[in-house]
Every structure is written in C-alpha cells, then in structure tokens.
Amino acid sequence: MDSLRRSVLAATALLLVLPLCTVQAAPPSLDLATARVVDLSWSYGEDTLYWPTSPSAFELEELAHGVTEGGWFYSANLLSTPEHGGTHLDAPIHFHDDVWTTAEIPVERLVRPAVVIDVAAKAAEDPDYQLSAEDLAAWEKVHGAVPEGAIVLLRTGWDERWPDRLAYLGDDTPGDASNLHFPSYGEAAARLLVERGAVGLGVDTASIDPGNSKTFPVHRVAAADNVFGLENLRGLGEIPATGAWIAALPMKIEGGSGGPARVVALIAE
C-alpha cells in the first residue's frame, strides 16, 4: 500500500513539473543532395545601396583582363567597400563594446535553422511598420515557439524596391539619414526574440531597426547579447515559415564590425 501511495505521489509530482519544462524541438532535417538552394543576397556593383552617410560605395578597379604575354587569359581586380552596405552582416561589436567582431562570431552560429516572419501586407500599408510582440505571439500560435539557436528572418517585401534608393530607403537626400522610412523589427519583439535564444536577426530592408529610428534600440538589444544582424536580404518570400536552414557567411574581417555576406537558404524538397 505504501509502495502504491509513493508511486501515485511521484506520478502526480511529475505531472505538475512537466508543464513547466520547455521541450526544445529538434532542428529540421535536411538532405544536402536534394535540398533547394535559394540565394538571399544582392550582387555588389554600381547599384549597390549603402547607408546615406557612408563615405563611399562599392568600387571595383580592373587590374588585369586579357591574354598575357605567355598566351593564357588572366583577370584580377581591386575592390573597395564599406562594411555596411549591400547584403551584409552586422557583427555584435557594431553597436556594443566587448562583444564579438566579425571574425570572432562562432561559425556554427552562421549556419542555423531559420524561421521567417512575414509582415509584408502590414508594411505595404505603413512604411514605418515595426514587428510587434503581438505579431510574434500570433506567429508562434500558428508555428510554435521560435526555437533556440534559430536565425530569424523578417519579410517586409521591401526587396521588390531594390535598387531604387528613394523607394527602398524612403529618402534619397545625399549624406542625410534623418528622414528614412522603411519597416523592420520593433524593440519589444527584438527583446523577445533575443530571450528566445535567436542567434541572428535578418531583414530585407537596410537595417534591423526601422528607417525612422533615431536611437537604434534593436541593434543595441541584439548586440548586447552577441546576436548578429543580416541586412539587405532578398527573396524571403521563397522561404517557408519553418523548416529551412540558413548559411550566412560574411567576409572574415579581423576586428571588423560587419562585412559583405553571401547568404543562402537550404530548403528540403
């Protein structure tokens, strides 16, 4: 009888504890032999967009292009670019001291499962739209909690405006970033995503903060927890809300605050 009573008490205690436990879903499986690869990056060239206050843009100087004296073809160029323009990564140190530089981000954090939150319809109505905590709650009600270790991608549909500077940034005044208008993450939603354990926040606009931000709270919240940013992405409409993997590999710059990146999605077929 005592043995039965102890068993019942143990079972009751387990039932009380289980709701408090968070079961972490396994990362989505992926067969690289059959996966569909989607390029989420813009090419660098004359049309590449940079932050309005950037002192320069992308430059490619031809060093050689043609048949050599030895009879074979040879081509080489000299390139120059600020870190933050085109499809690029923001390292945590971009907005916080004593955190990871571009080269210090552990490579395993750059290849992670992805989730896509789509606010394109709302952004079409409001160019200053910010992902809210309510948006995140609605997404999680349908798809489940954002898994720890994920790269979160916010689709606004703004990539359709690239490379029209006025349409994409909301203002094309040279050297002036005071009147920009484009959607992105809101601070409350960003805090929740960092608390969920997201390792990166990406968006198909020029910044993980909305264009009208003056204090860049999303950058600061993310950077303080060593969460990187991915900006000026494209093609997020091709990525499912869950189930894809992202490889976001920036130029490995020692001491860098960011860098150009080739970002691709891998989707199970």
**Tens of pLDDT, residues 212-243:** 999 999 999 999 999 999 999 999 999 999 99
Cα–Cα distance for residue pair 179/234, rounded to 1 Å = 23
Q: With cut-offs at 50, 70 and 90, classify the pLDDT of residue 9.
A: very low
Cα–Cα distance for residue pair 127/131, rounded to 1 Å = 12
Q: Please state the pTM of the whole predicted model.
A: 0.89
What pLDDT, on the 0 to 100 scale, is given for residue 26?
67
Share of the chain above pLDDT 90, in %: 87
pLDDT tens, residue by residue, 35-51: 999 999 999 999 999 99
What pLDDT, on the 0 to 100 scale, is given for residue 25?
56
Which residues does the annotation mark as catalytic?
Answer: 94
**From the CB of residue 136, how many other CB atoms can be counted at a distance below 10 Å?**
22
CA atoms within 13 A on the CB side of 7: 4
Task: Say if residue 17's pLDDT is above 80.
Answer: no
Q: Give the chain's domains with CATH numbers.
A: 36-56+82-267 (3.50.30.50)
Cα–Cα distance for residue pair 136/128, rounded to 1 Å = 17
Give the residues across from 184 on adjacent strands: 130
To the nearest 10°, the Cα dihedral for 51, 223, 158, 186? -120
Task: Say if residue 18's pLDDT is above 50.
Answer: no
